[in-house]
């Protein structure tokens, strides 16, 4: 399935849209949830109605660098999603493709493991409870 088909399908367990470049914490939370569960794609430049709105063309490299810095500075353990720009009908979107990580649980550093671990349930990011964190730790071993 190509990227346009994914967008038409809409948000779900492995796909999240943001119309505008979100805050660093929102990006980190989504990357953590995908790393802790089935992986997924964060697509920036698509609205909640599955319409491609695009991002400012002038700053494609800057957006990729910002996402890379957020991942490095905010998430533990380190994860390495693919980050790339994609042009659809003259509109640029940013895709952050996250793979399920082997070093679970992934979490937001400044919140710590027990407050900063998130999982994906349906099309939403939820804080993981202690039992789920323990299950993620078992999966790591």
pLDDT digits (tens, 9 = 90+) for 29-84: 999 999 999 999 999 999 999 999 999 766 667 899 999 999 999 999 999 999 99
Mean of all residue pLDDT scores within the chain: 94
The pLDDT of residue 125 is 95
No. of H helices and E strands in the chain? Answer: 5, 8
The pLDDT of residue 56 is 76
The pLDDT of residue 141 is 79
In order, the DSSP letters of 25-65 are: HHHHHHHHHHHHTT-EEEEETB-TTS-B--B-GGGHHHHHH
Q: Is the pLDDT of residue 140 over 90?
A: no
- Tell me if residue 11 falls in helix, strand or coil: coil
Mean per-residue pLDDT, 81-109: 95
Residue with tokens 């505008």: 20
The Cα 21–Cα 5 span in angstroms is: 22
Q: Is the pLDDT of residue 130 over 70?
A: yes
- Tell me if residue 97 falls in helix, strand or coil: strand
Share of the chain above pLDDT 70, in %: 96
Q: Is the pLDDT of residue 114 over 70?
A: yes
The pLDDT of residue 110 is 97
């Amino acid at each position: 399935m190509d990227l346009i088909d994914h967008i038409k399908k809409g948000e779900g367990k492995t796909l999240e849209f943001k119309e505008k470049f979100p805050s660093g914490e929102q990006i980190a939370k989504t990357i953590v949830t995908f790393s802790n569960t089935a992986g997924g794609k964060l697509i920036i430049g698509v609205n909640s109605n599955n319409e491609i709105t695009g991002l400012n063309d002038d700053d494609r490299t800057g957006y990729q660098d910002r996402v890379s810095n957020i991942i490095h500075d905010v998430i533990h353990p380190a994860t390495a999603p693919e980050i790339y720009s994609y042009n659809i009908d003259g509109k640029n979107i940013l895709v952050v493709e996250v793979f399920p990580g082997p070093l679970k649980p992934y979490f937001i550093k400044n919140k710590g493991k027990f407050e900063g671990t998130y999982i994906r349930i349906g099309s939403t990011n939820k804080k993981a409870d202690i039992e789920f964190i323990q299950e993620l730790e078992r999966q790591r071993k």
